[in-house]
Structure 1
Amino acid sequence: MLKYLMTTAAFAVGLAATAGAASAADKLTFALVPKNTNNPFFDQAQAGCKKAEKELGGAIECLYVGPGEHGGGDEQAQIVQDLITKGVDGIAVSPANAPAIAAALQGAAGAKIPVLTWDSDLLADNKGERLAYVGTHNYEIGVNLAKLAMKIKPKGGKICIQSGGAAAANHNERMQGIRDTLAGKQSAQAPGERLAGQNGWTEVDGCPLYTDDDFPKSVQQMEDTLGKYPDLDAFIPTGGFPQFLPDAYRQVAGKYKDKIASGALALVVADTLPVQLDLLKAGLASGNVGQRPFEMGYKAMYFLKDIKDGKAPPKDPTYTGLDVCTPENVATCIGGGN
């Protein structure tokens, strides 16, 4: 609790100072709010945001602010509420907890603060709280992860899906894409129907796993699951969680390098950050399906500037594309980024 209060207080002081400086310079302050700030994926979005800030020559400030760690979403919701209270000029947020962020955003329209979501969206009933979503087609990430697994394991098998958080809409949509594609049947809503033999695929007991974006926890989950189920056919994280700790990941995945190489284990992971592609090149994964976080942060700033200039909001949704990487195309698979 003390850590939370200190973080919130420091943020409030910093925001007040930033808002004052922005007002003095007649600069628009746009907040880019990630789920957490200790994640290399979101670092890429920040880099895109800062590039837009530089290109726009002082017309905007990219205010990158979020929780230090990804918890249940309460701290992020409080940050969003504080941004609205302080009167920033625009907000682009990646909701850690979709319902909590929807509630936090209810004052934005009245304050005439345009809101975009990126990376992860609000739930269908709450999408009126933002103008548009900018980011990945999350269902399609799941589809492509499943296709890679099916290519390696055409007859199906035992599978474990590792997700970020049970309340994270983007990860639920990815899980639905995985399950629907493997089952060969469209489910009614995210996270889809649990695999129980459809097309030969069965989710093992204890899965799906939820990491809450806790990277050490994700590596431990992976180690425990692969150890508990030596006959597991596929392990699919819906985010890069275990690979974001490359040394720890190497220690675990290295034990299964021969199984990965032979196709006995399909280890297919979301995201394609440079450290992850190094692991793919080293034979410690079967494939990666990546997003373009740099473009999300970059485009969000330009879209908010256009809205403040009286132009129409971007198309809803605006997708930023995917990259599908395998050991065969790893040198050339990245199509977007900085």
Structure 2
Amino acid sequence: MASHEIIQPTRRTLIRGAGATALAGLAMPAIARAAKRYSIAVVPKSLDNPVFYTAHYGAMQRAKELGDVDLIWTASATSDASQEAEIIQNLITRHVDGMAIDANAPQPLIAPINEAVEKGIVTITWDSDVPGSKREVYYGVDNTKMGARMGEQALKFMGKPSGKVILVSGGPGATNLNARLAGVKQMMGKHKGIEFLGPYFDDDDLTKGQELMNNLLTAHPDAGAIVNVAAVAFFGKVAAMPKLISNHGKVKIIGSDVLAPEIPLVQKGYVQALVGQDYWGWGYQTVTIIHNMLTNKNCRYPKLVPQHMPVVTKANADHWAKIWKEAATPAGAARAFREAPVGCMAT
């Protein structure tokens, strides 16, 4: 039986899943206690960002399928690299078998990740990498290519390779977001008529993000496009962005992710295109990769295990709305995003 715990570091409380209490573990027969179990921690950037809910469902599902995994889901309450470093240190102290980390910023995490690896903890990153660390695998999209794809969509909807392009991001230290910004610039910067403004940062904060979108559309009604590589502003109610509503596609809006709250914005024409990731895989496949490496010493992966990048426009937004309707619960998400576990790969 898999066990599951959510750690909320701000309160230092522990919530355990069904059938997974410490007392229950003590009460198990001796033969069951002797069976090898693996503690695997999955660390998103924060606990308050809905982009990670489906990843949590995926991690729970894979732990359940494997049966010998004690899953730990833990992060800072909001995106904070220093708190994330403390969390990793706590996991090292707990002697977990493996950890999968989504980095708020790379530099503060290099030392704790290296310590974890040196102490024999299988350590990988996902979504946002930590270059320069000893992490064994990065699982996620190629973020430079993701930015380039967002740039392609911006050019497509602008209809001409000229005009102001406003860049918006989340945290200025996030490796994945900076790579996306670079990808946008590489793709669109090939055209001499493109003028970049920004990047502007909202620190992955919903209120800040929505205020920023309103302010940018007010200040630059003549812009060709806004490319938001961390579109947290689209996770809340569109009524908080009246300028986005009144703009209604005049300034072309391109965003990251293809999450449930974003799809209606595409359906209504407020956002022209979204470029997404495999949110289920963030949890499902990271647990898979770590478990494979723990149980098979010959299992190898390349440094980058890439994800696919779906694109949502008005042409397929209704289809995605149906997917997210089914995926509203853990069981529904398992049906909607079902995929085969990634096997060992030659490097």
TM over 0.5: yes
Contact 1:30 1:63 in 2 (8 A): yes
1:3 maps to what in 2? none
Report SS of the residue matched to 1:35.
coil
Give SS of 1:77's match. Answer: helix
Show the 5 A alignment for 1:57-206: 58-71=67-80, 73-123=81-131, 125-126=132-133, 129-153=134-158, 154-184=160-190, 198-204=191-197
Contact 1:19–1:86 (Cα < 8 Å) also in 2: no
For 1:37 and 1:271, the matched residues in 2 are separated by 17
1:224/1:62 Cα in 2 relative to 1: closer, same or farther (>3 Å)? same
Q: Which runs of 5+ in 2 are unaligned?
A: 1-7, 27-31, 324-335, 339-347
Name the CA distance, whole Å, in 2 between partners of 1:249 and 1:151. 27
The alpha-carbon distance between structure 1 residues 51 and 311, as it changes in their structure 2 partners (threshold 3 A), is farther
**1:255 aligned residue:** 246
Superposed displacement of residue 27, structure 1: 2.3
Distance of 1:166 and 1:151 partners within structure 2: 27
Aligned equivalent of 1:291: 277
Contact 1:132 / 1:313 at 8 angstroms: preserved in 2? Answer: no
Are the structure 2 counterparts of residues 227 and 21 from structure 1 closer, same or farther at C-alpha, using a change threshold of 3 Å? farther
Give the Å deviation of 1:102.
1.1
Write the distance in 1 (CA, Å) between the matches of 2:10 and 2:214: 35
Greater percentage in helix:
1
**C-alpha contact (below 8 Å) 1:243/1:249 kept by paired residues:** no
CA contact (8 A) 1:30 1:89 kept: yes
Q: Per-residue deviation at 1:201?
A: 1.1
Once the two structures are TM-superposed, the CA of residue 101 in structure 1 deviates from its matched residue by: 1.1
Indicate the percent of aligned positions where both proteins have the same amino acid: 25
Contact 2:40-2:287 at 8 Å conserved across structures? yes
Q: Against the structure 1 CA distance between its residues 130 and 277, is the aligned structure 2 distance closer, same or farther, given a 3 Å change threshold? A: same
Q: Deviations over 1:92-137 (max 9, x none)?
A: 00000111111221211222100010001112x33xx111101111
Q: CA deviation at 1:168?
A: 0.4
Tell me the amino acid that sits aligned with residue 27 of structure 1.
Answer: R
Change (3 A) 1:109 1:228: same
Deviation at 1:13, TM superposition (A): 10
Opposite residue 203 of structure 1, the aligned amino acid is: F
Which residue matches 2:330? Answer: none
1:244 Cα deviation (Å)?
0.9
Residues 21 and 215 (structure 1), Cα distance of their counterparts in 2 relative to 1, 3 Å cut: farther
Note closer, same or farther for the CA distance 1:12–1:29 as it changes in structure 2 (3 Å cut).
same
Report the TM-score, using the length of structure 2 for normalisation: 0.82
Partner of 2:60: 50
Q: Let me know the Cα RMSD of the aligned residues.
A: 2.5
CA distance in 2, matches of 1:29, 1:100: 24
CA distance in 2, matches of 1:158, 1:210: 18
How far the C-alpha of 1:325 sits from its partner, in A, is 1.3
CA deviations 1:132-186 (Å, max 9, x no partner) are: 10111111111111011101222321111111111100000000000000012xx
Q: Is 1:320 matched with 2:326? A: no
Q: What's the CA shift for 1:28?
A: 1.0
Taking the aligned partners of 2:50 and 2:15, their CA distance within structure 1 comes to: 26
In the alignment of these two chains, the number of paired residues is 306
Please state whether the residue corresponding to 2:262 is helix, strand or coil.
Answer: helix
Q: Secondary structure of 2:96's match?
A: coil
**Counterpart Cα distance in 1 of 2:151 and 2:269:** 19
Q: 1:326 corresponds to which letter in structure 2?
A: T
Q: Secondary structure at the match of 1:37?
A: coil
Stretches of structure 1 lacking an aligned partner (at least 5 in a row)? 1-5, 185-197
Specify the code of the residue in structure 1 equivalent to 2:194.
W
Q: Are 2:262 and 1:276 aligned?
A: yes
Q: Is the 8 A contact 1:267 1:286 kept in 2?
A: yes
In the TM superposition, what whole-angstrom CA distance separates every residue of 1:177-231 from its partner, at most 9, and x where no partner exists? 00000012xxxxxxxxxxxxx5211123xx2111111111011011111111121
2:264, 2:173 → 1: CA distance? 31
Q: Can you list the C-alpha shifts for 1:234-280, whole angstroms capped at 9, x where unaligned?
A: 111102210111344553421111xx1xxx31101010012211221
For residues 172 and 236 of structure 2, what CA distance do their matches in structure 1 show? 22
Paired AA for residue 81 in structure 1 = Q
Shift of 1:7: 3.3
Aligned residue for 2:50?
40
Whether the 8 Å CA contact 2:206–2:233 is kept in 1: the answer is yes
CA-CA distance at 1:315 after TM superposition: 2.5
